[in-house]
Structure 1
Amino acid sequence: MTLPRPCALILTLLLALAIAGCSSTGGRKKGGYYKDDGPGDNPPANIDQIPDAEPRIEPYASGANRPYVVFGQRYVPDTTGAPYKKRGIASWYGRKFHGNSTSIGEPYDMYAMTAAHTTLPLPSYARVTSLVNGKTVIVRVNDRGPFHSDRIMDLSYAAAYKLGIIGPGSGEVVVESIQPDEIRQMEAARRSGTATASAQPAGASVEPGAVPVAPAVSAAPVALASAPLASATLPAAAAGSVYLQVGAFSQPANAQSLVSRINTQLGADGTPPAMVEQANNLYRVRIGPYPDRQAALNAVQRVSERIGILPSLAVQ
């Protein structure tokens, strides 16, 4: 396949990433990085305080979203806007590529909250949740990779650090695209000054699509349910099956404490009450049900302003 000039430059970078960040375990050092890659010499002291990427509506990069071939495998980026949710292994890349151009021509910053993916549109945003410790981050996807069958995403050093996979070098995660309707809700909440934290404080337990509870409510870290996802596409919502999720806990008392606080803050204005739903050993705090997806979306900002937590959609 003959690639246009911009894609040829991108492909060169992709091949380098494939060799360094997405190779098999051979040649990896302690910490999971490959050969002469690895952490920076003087990393910031407060990496765990680096804020998540702030999702924004952005135009797709020219040339970086065309079909391409690496190592004989053809990849077709999906620019249709279809939801994406998939579980797999995430790895990370560091100083070897720090300052080099990403697939969309931006300098790679190992201390920014970014990631590489083979088919998500560039740029776009994704919520990444560790299935080992429940930690969640939001990243801006601005690069291509990893090109290995057992990897789903290459994270920046900062994103991997916050997810707790710097030491082992990789970890099982759920990657979920953040859709435009949710991004617009986030942007509106930021403009109104509503709290929009999207990654949990230390010690909180969050599942894919959940947001942290207020600092006064503590939750012990848990491993999320390990049942395979049926597909990369979110299911269609049946009537009365859509909720707003505001947290997930390993301890029922913590979940019930949040429910009590939220129901007091919501008042009696017609908003459905918060409740606890148990699945295996995880206790989810949800508000609902709403009659359909649009009704739930319309309630996001109002609920967020009342309780100080930006909820996410959850389909029963």
Structure 2
Amino acid sequence: MTTSLAGSRTDLPAEPPASPAGSVPRRRWSARSRRDFFVFLALAFPNLLLIGTFTYLPLINNIYYSTLNWTLGSASATVVGLENYLTFFTSADAGKVLGTTAIFTATTVAGSMVLGLLVALALNSKVRGTTFARAAVFAPYVLSGVGVGLVWLFIFDPGYGVLSWILRGLGQQSPQWINDPQLSLAMVILVYVWKNLGYCAVVFLAGLQSLPKDVMEAASLDGAGRFRRFASISIPLLSPTTFFLLITTMLSSLQAFDLIRIMTPLGSGTSTLIYEAYLQAFGAYNRAGYSAAISVVLFVILLVITVLQLRFVEKKVHYS
């Protein structure tokens, strides 16, 4: 006897209809998902609130202030649109300020990174005293920029500085480091590189110590010398570290203020964008709106440089 199976199991649930081709099934918003979301929100919201309050809100306000003709301390202001930007880019000082900013940034970034790499190579040696040497090299980076500027100003001052005293003892005249615009820029660059050298050295040292030893030993067995191993293996493998330092040191140099303010109060030859914005707002002009426009120009430059580095330079980074 044959039995028909069709319709014999009426107690089984009907199968859900098949999803259309290409459609993605919806995820169920389970109790665990809700709990994880609220935990994330509770942890992230305070940080997001602080970032929005102290970073993005001042940025938006500064962009608005840049459209005003506003004297600092005045109770009233006039909306002028892009006039502050046009005034800056058509002024005689715009090229000088942008050129000083470019020279200061390029020399300090290159000097800090090249010297930092050389110091890191020396500190990577297994000799006695390297721990103390690492601390001594890194110490200036964590010191106050105001304190560092005052100490170096005492050294470079042409009247009572230590360097002028040594030169007078040798029968030589001290250069006018502070009064000569070209020398004052060189002075600030030298001190800034000295202060940030330890940061680059420590980061490069961490990168050198993380290099795979088996690769270096294999290259040594193949007959590659120390310089060949450094140029062909160490430098490419250090590209993530170099890329990180390139971004951080460039952003830091573009925003350098404390050393310039202490060592050259009048900005003679050292008026970078950020210091020019300070002089316009808090100097003899009190042009708050014009100063805000210069700050926005600096922000746009920082943003463009960062995006270009992430877009093009990172392609050449070798991630192991």
TM-score tier by shorter-chain length is: under 0.3
- TM-score of the superposition, structure 1-length normalised? 0.21
Bigger fraction of residues in strand: 1
Highest relative contact order (Cα 8 Å, sep 6+), 1 or 2?
2
Greater Rg by CA: 2
- TM-score of the superposition, structure 2-length normalised? 0.21
Bigger fraction of residues in helix: 2
